[in-house]
Amino acid sequence: MLAAVVGGLTVVQPSPAMAGDCAKPRCGGVVRNASSRMVQIANCWSGSPNVYVGTKPPCATVFSQNLPKAYYFLNKNQSSTSLGKRYYDVDAFRAEAGCYTKLQENGSSWAYDRRGKDHYWVKISSDRKDVVITSVTC
């Protein structure tokens, strides 16, 4: 956590939260799947860099909807908040191997081209809280 005193007020910049620390929906990173394919998400992230290439992030020890340090999936038209408290704060999403993934983040559009490449996990940081996966073409 980073804190600074500005004009007599203490301004606190929170560090990325672990999903298990979130008590209510939308208290952290949210991913919504508007594509026609499943999308994988993780409720943990450890260290740098902000991306990881592979099947799951190193912090994820289990495929689970109900445990910390886990990764799971979103079906079409599903939001991460619907998965319960462990996914109220999502820390990463995966651009699928062999696919072209389009998304929107806080009003900006992005794409990850993983055709001919491995899975690509992207960390959700404090400035990238609302992610909508708009399409996944494989």
Q: Given this model, what pLDDT does residue 17 score? A: 41
Domain boundaries, the chain: 16-137
> How far is C-alpha 12 from the chain's CA centre?
22
pLDDT at residue 15 above 50? no
Q: Given this model, what pLDDT does residue 77 score? A: 96
pLDDT tens, position by position, 78-135: 999 999 999 999 999 999 999 999 999 888 899 999 999 999 999 997 655 899 999 9
Q: Model's pTM, two decimal places?
A: 0.82
C-alpha closest to that of 97 among 121, 73, 118, 72: 118
Q: Which residues of 87-109 are buried (b: 16+ CB within 10 A; e: fewer)?
A: bbbbbbbbbbbebebbbebeeee
Q: Given this model, what pLDDT does residue 136 score? A: 98
pLDDT at residue 19 above 50? no
